Amino acid sequence: MTAQTIILIFTLVIYLIIIFVFNKARIKYEGGKVGKVINLILVTVCLLFIADYIVIFDRIADDEILKVIRALFRTAALSFLAYGGSKVANS
């Protein structure tokens, strides 16, 4: 196993734990500001998950294209979190 594989497996476990815990919390705290914040966190984590695991397409696409896609997903995740956080804070 390479170092990159070990890191990907470790981050996969972390992502799955975060998604599982926040999904349970989303069910418990449905509605209200807490529910909206939990949904923001879940969408952000899912977008970051996609950004991190875009490397599995390294045999299909060029490395530069994958870097651009990864940057777009990371930017989308942070933008979604910022915009959603400002909407929740103003409500």
Provide the whole-model pTM.
Answer: 0.84
pLDDT digits (tens, 9 = 90+) for 53-73: 888 888 888 889 999 999 999
**Section 15-21 average pLDDT:** 93
Residue 42 confidence class, pLDDT cut points 50, 70, 90: very high
Section 11-18 average pLDDT: 93
Share of the chain above pLDDT 90, in %: 54
Which of 89, 81, 14 lies closest to 44 in space, CA to CA? Answer: 81
- Report the alpha-carbon distance of residue 21 to residue 53 in Å, rounded: 21
pLDDT of the residue at 77 = 95
Q: Give me Rg for the CA atoms of the chain.
A: 15
What mean pLDDT is reported for the chain?
90
